[in-house]
Structures are given as structure tokens and as C-alpha cells.
Amino acid sequence: MSELLFVGGLFLGVLLLLYAIGVPVAIAMGMSCIVMWLSPFGSGINFTLISTRLFFGVNSFPLLAIPFYVLLGRLMNRVGMTERIFAFAGAIVGHYRGGIAHVNIVASMIFSGMSGLATADAAGLGRIEYTAMREHGYDKQTALGVTGSSALIGPLIPPSVAIIIYGVLAEESIGQLFLGGLVPGVTLGLTLMVFVVVLSRLRGFSPDQEFELGAVWTTFKDAFFALLTPILIIGGLLSGQFTATEAGAIAVIYICFVGFFVYRELTIGGLIDEMKFSMIETCALTFIVAVASLYGLVALQLQLPRLLVDGFAGVSSDPTMILLALTALFLVVGTFMDTIAAMTVLVPIIMPLLGIANIDPIHFGVVMLLALLLGLLTPPFGIVLFVLEKVTDASLEEVMKAVLPYYIPILVVLLLAIFFPAIVTYVPYNVVG
């Protein structure tokens, strides 16, 4: 056991060292595999095995969903859906105390049903949300905190690129995982709104505008085609009319139609540009998945899953306690690794533990994602922090201080998801048509 522990520490240590000095995560994982193969504990480099594993690591139908959802989020920004969604959210909740803060959260909830990426929300809506809150007299700290925390809703409410990656690695249904994140995502949005209500009373915020039914109708008509997008995706999944991959393809076709013929803000040149950038992002993501498949194979050869199973089995036999222990691990890992990178490293190692511990993989996947998402707001990695620094007039230090209080509602939702699994599992197991 001591030798196995040393091997595991060496394997993960090489990866973390490379990652810490700035080596891209996919290259770091690949180099870690080579180091272990060449070490006294390895079996030598097998180039046939490497090529085969890399190929079959991405030879997966669910992975076809990634380019569709990446392109979908980019096209939405291109055709002006972001501004329309924000205007509609302002009309329906802007009259409450702390109204624009609520608008910020509601707009993120709606936008999340289309983009699937926290960084897309922070970059796409972030500038608009922050500017609107500052123009309505909110202090910089509140504007940054609400904007940063609401961006985490994106990867939970379907579609979600991180969920697709987890589904491929865990060999679970993408559609069920999408639906599993629906209730926790909405719950996070509502919890953030409750937090804003408390904050508004403590800081004396007043309603930002009067409620006007005419404004609701006008903004609704303007945003109608944008609002149909999440209905199209989620409704199709719930009714069983199409898979998650098919939903992404249909949504892209729909956005192209709206952009060309309804909003008239999409051109052939614009579509080609967005497709080009989407392909670049997709290649980066799929390369990480391919190398992660190889990394998982080496972990199996080194018997790391056995080490993990033995370790956590010694802590407790209660599935909830094991899930809490794993969540603590994810909260630490999320502070220095990207969400998708952390999933690609950890999922192949942890999956054997789930069956032994009797933990539902759909429940586990959503809890893991929520825990890792908190790392997007936590230094030193915290990519959402860096995005907000670039799209606002705040310094990185100001952004970091501003988001700290919003850890509270996020952690509340995380604990609810752990202790009440039905929050995650009820919809995918009981509502799907």
C-alpha cells in the first residue's frame, strides 16, 4: 500500500507541478503519462496504445454536442440576443428592491439555457450587467459580486459543456445529466435572489424602476425568439423528442434562421467567423478529452482507483459522508484547476468508487460540477475573476473581495444538493417523456 501511495503521489505530483508552471493541462496530462511509463513503476511507452487510446477517447457521439453549444453561445451574442434578454429581465423584476441586481440574476438564468459556459455568461452578459448596475447607483462591490456569482448558473442549467465532458468520461446519459442540473441551477438563481433581498435591506437599496405592463409586453416581443431557445432545448429533452446532441444542432439552425431573417443582424461573414472561433475552442476541448482518456488508462494501470476506493472506504461507508469528503476535495482542486480540466483528471479515477459507495452517478456529476464551479470565483485560478477584470473597470483585487460574500448562497445550494439527492435526480428519473 505504501508503494501504491507513493506512485499515486508521484503521478499526481508531476501533473500539478507542470500545471503550476503554466503547461497547458492536456500537455501536462500527456507528459505525466510519459513520465510514469518511463519510471521504474511503468511498463514502457507503447505508441500503438497511445494512438489507439487518443482516437477512441474522442470517438464518441455525445461529444458532437460540444461544437453545437459552443457555436450557439457565440451566435447568441452576435445576433443581439444578450441585450434583448437583459431588457426583458429588467421589465419583469426591475421594480423590486435591488431590482437591477435581480435583473442580473434572472438574465443569467435565461442566458444559461443557451450558452452552457460560465465564462460565456461573464464575458457576454457581464459587461452589460455590471454597467447597468453602476448606472443605477450600485456600488462597485455589489455590482461585481452579483455579476460574478450569477455567472455560475450557466454550466448548471442545460445545456452545459462541462456536463457533456462528464457524461462522456463517466459513460452516462447526457440528456439525464442536463435535466439533473436544471433544478439545482434554478435553485442557485433563486437563492442568489434571496441573498440580494437581504443585502438590499441591509444596504438600503431601493427599487430601480416602476413596473410597467407595457414595457413587459414590448421587451417580451423583442426577446420572444431568444426566449424560445431554452424552451426548444429543455422542452425537447423533457419530452424525449431528441437527444442532447440533436438539441444543440436544432438550436444552432434555429438561431441562424432568427439571426438572418428575423433580427437581420447575422451575415454570412459573421457566421463564418463564429464557426471558425467555435472550431478552435472545440479542438482545444476535445484534445483535453482525448488525453484525459489516456491519463485515465495510466491511472488504472497504476491501480490508483483501488487506492482511492480503499482510502474513502476507510473513512466511512455512508454515501453522504463519502460525497462530502469528495466535495471537500473538489473545492480544493477547483481553486487551481479549470472545471473541465479537473473533471478530465478526476472522473476516470473516481468512477470505480461510486458503485462501491452506492452513489448515483447523475447525482454525483452535478454535485461535482457545482463544487468545482466555486473554484471559478476563487484565486489563484478563478477564470471568472479574470474575465470580470477585463470587461469592467475594476482591479483583480476588487473583484476577488467583491465575490467573497456570495460564497454563502453557493455553498447553501451545494449542501442542499448533497443532502437531498432528489433535487438532482427527480427530474431525470421521473419527468422525462
d(CA 275, CA 279): 6
pLDDT at 131: 79
pLDDT at 197: 86
Please report, for the chain, how many H helices and E strands are present, in that order: 23, 0
**pLDDT band (50, 70, 90) for residue 2:** low
**Highest mean pLDDT, choosing among 68-72, 220-224, 419-423:** 419-423
pLDDT at 114: 57
CA dihedral 254, 259, 260, 261 (to 10 degrees): 80
Longest dimension (CA), the chain: 74
Residue with cell 500503438: 48
Prediction pTM value: 0.77
Q: Give the amino acid at 116.
A: G
Eight-state DSSP code of residue 96: S
Would the pLDDT of 119 be above 90? Answer: no
Kindly list the domain boundaries of the chain, sorted by start residue: 46-430
* pLDDT tens digits, 347-389: 888 888 888 888 999 999 999 999 988 888 887 667 778 778 8
Q: What are phi and psi of 207, to 5 degrees?
A: -60, 145
* pLDDT tens digits, 279-321: 887 887 788 778 877 887 787 777 776 666 666 666 667 888 8
| Average of per-residue pLDDT across 235-247 | 78
| Average of per-residue pLDDT across 166-183 | 88
pLDDT at 230: 78
pLDDT at 121: 64
Would the pLDDT of 390 be above 80? Answer: no
DSSP H stretches of helix in 240-267 = 244-257
* pLDDT tens digits, 252-279: 899 999 999 988 888 999 999 989 988 8
Residue with cell 441591509: 202
Give residue 303's region: left, alpha or beta (phi > 0; psi -120 to 50).
Answer: left
Eight-state DSSP code of residue 63: G
Q: CA-CA distances (angstroms) from residue 306 to 43, 350, 424?
A: 19, 10, 28
| Average of per-residue pLDDT across 415-423 | 95
Would the pLDDT of 115 be above 60? Answer: no
